[in-house]
A and B are shown apart, each in its own frame.
Chain A
């Protein structure tokens, strides 16, 4: 099988990722997003501006990146961490196939959890399939894909994927992208917001990028990240734990 998707690798990854207690951790941000939405909805705020605050700001800068970080960082990172990756690399599966399969699995899981909770929260918050809810859902799906590509790249390139990814999410996405305008063009959170805004047309989302820019840059980042990840895995050598 020489395609980009290998079903056996996918099923092993899925089982290794979801088969443990830590799977609860993946769903935690998603569950919190829904609960918070329910709580605020129950409190009947005066204006509807809160929807983009919770679903846009909180959802796109915290829930999606953190869910993607833990999932994307562990589909490949966990195997590298405990050395099981050598068994996979010893099989005649192309390394690009390994990366692509893991990317597909991680993206699908993140879409399901983070995207799903954005959708549910959006439906609850706006009271139906409104443009805002749909826009946020589509933006969340796009964000899940791009974030996972980056986190898989990070876990192929470093031994401490979660720590590096966390640094990136907190400092780059959380701090710089909102303070320094120019960083937006390299911020996945803003790509997702740009895509969401193209459907929702809601100024309270504070989307800084147009749809075309967001899609083009998002695609470029995804492809580049996956390319680097394949490159790194192709020249992979097992290193010990960082002391």
Chain B
């Protein structure tokens, strides 16, 4: 309309002129890169937990948190009745934590990255003063934060429940246990979210991204456990540490979950008074291999994310 009037006004050379139509301009402060990353991170963190989304998106995070926290409540009741603490701070309940984290990573990870790839909104993000690496960084921090909450919240509840309902005054051992558990929980969240988010970002379709993450976590975990059992000749509970063959000690390297858990078992120390048998054997002198593996997993996750988002959005 305005272009037409400009033409008919007898000024054919003024093509493509941008008319000032008197719209009000934005003259406030323009927030920079840091604030963009922070906003994206906060938004992603909320959507990983289903906050600010429809009721359907809340189902899975809510179930994950409820199931994860359940043992802490059961424990509080048991302790109130005079029983010793039934859940450890270091491993919590390993099978439960592994299953919940697998499902959470497989379903919520793609939620964070696949949708943006699928709906091709990445060019919009990158048209802001935001660098290529900032997007995956923000997504990673958000997802790691959500996983951290999922791992640590039950531990804190476990601590509070034990302290509140315990008859004996055992605050200090519990606090020490909690701090150790929180530290190892950080390792869990950092490693699992890095590899989970990297795998999720490979496919723009949410269903396949979920499949990739689930296959990786579930398959490697089962494989690690079965190979350990084979190396130990049978699914018996662990014999004393000195009789564990090298194969059984190394089998846990296959899965990120058992890798982290092995490091935990090493730090938990040899005398296991609370636990008759850990979910994985103490790696013993193979600890460096496990630490290396955790670093490799972390680095691989970051590398995949960095490479993926160097060109993502431009192609698919």
Residues of A at under 8 Å CB distance from B?
22, 25, 28-29, 32, 36, 40, 43, 45-47, 49-50, 53-54, 57-58, 61-63, 66, 69-70, 73-74, 77-78, 81, 160-163, 166-167, 169-171, 174-175, 242-243
Contact = CB atoms under 8 A, between A and B. Distances in A.
B207 A66 contact: no
Contacts of B234: 49
29 contacts: A25-B211, A29-B215, A40-B227, A40-B230, A45-B230, A45-B231, A46-B233, A49-B233, A54-B226, A61-B222, A62-B219, A63-B219, A66-B215, A69-B211, A73-B207, A73-B211, A74-B207, A78-B205, A81-B205, A81-B207, A162-B208, A163-B60, A163-B106, A170-B218, A171-B103, A175-B95, A175-B99, A242-B56, A243-B57
B145 to A, nearest CB: 21
Nearest to A63: B219
Contacts of A170: 99, 102-103, 214, 218
B222 A58 contact: yes
Contact of A78 (B56, B207, B212, B218): B207
Contacts of B214: 66, 162, 166, 170
**Chain B interface residue bracket vs A:** 20 to 34
Given A58-B222, A243-B57, A47 B210 contact: no
Given A162-B210, A163-B107, 16 more contacts: A22-B208, A25-B208, A25-B212, A29-B215, A36-B223, A40-B227, A54-B230, A61-B222, A74-B208, A160-B107, A162-B207, A166-B103, A170-B102, A170-B214, A171-B103, A243-B53
Nearest to B119: A241
Interface of B: 53-54, 56-57, 60, 95, 99, 102-103, 106-107, 203, 205-208, 210-212, 214-215, 218-219, 222-223, 226-227, 229-231, 233-234, 247
A32 B207 contact: no
A57 B102 contact: no
Contacts of B106: 163, 166
A25 B56 contact: no
A49 B236 CA distance: 13
B226 A57 contact: yes
Contacts of A70: 208, 211, 215
Nearest to A170: B99
A32 B60 CA distance: 30
Nearest to B219: A62
A32 B85 CA distance: 40
Contact of B226 (A25, A58, A74): A58
A-B pairs with the 5 shortest C-beta distances?
A243-B54, A50-B230, A162-B207, A242-B56, A62-B222
Given A36-B223, A58-B226, A66 B203 contact: no
A46 B232 CA distance: 10
A167 B103 contact: yes
A100 to B, nearest CB: 22
B218 A53 contact: no
Contacts of A63: 219
Nearest to A65: B218
A161 B227 contact: no
A125 to B, nearest CB: 12
Nearest to A21: B203
Contacts of B218: 62, 66, 169-170, 174
Contacts of A29: 215, 219
A53 B233 CA distance: 10
B178 to A, nearest CB: 27
Contacts of B60: 163
Given A25-B211, A166-B107, A170-B99, A58 B56 contact: no
Nearest to B209: A162
A58 B57 contact: no
A171 B208 contact: no
Contacts of A161: 207
B112 to A, nearest CB: 14
Contacts of B247: 43
A29 B220 CA distance: 10
Contacts of A166: 103, 106-107, 210-211, 214
A242 to B, nearest CB: 4
Given A166-B214, A170-B218, A47 B233 contact: yes
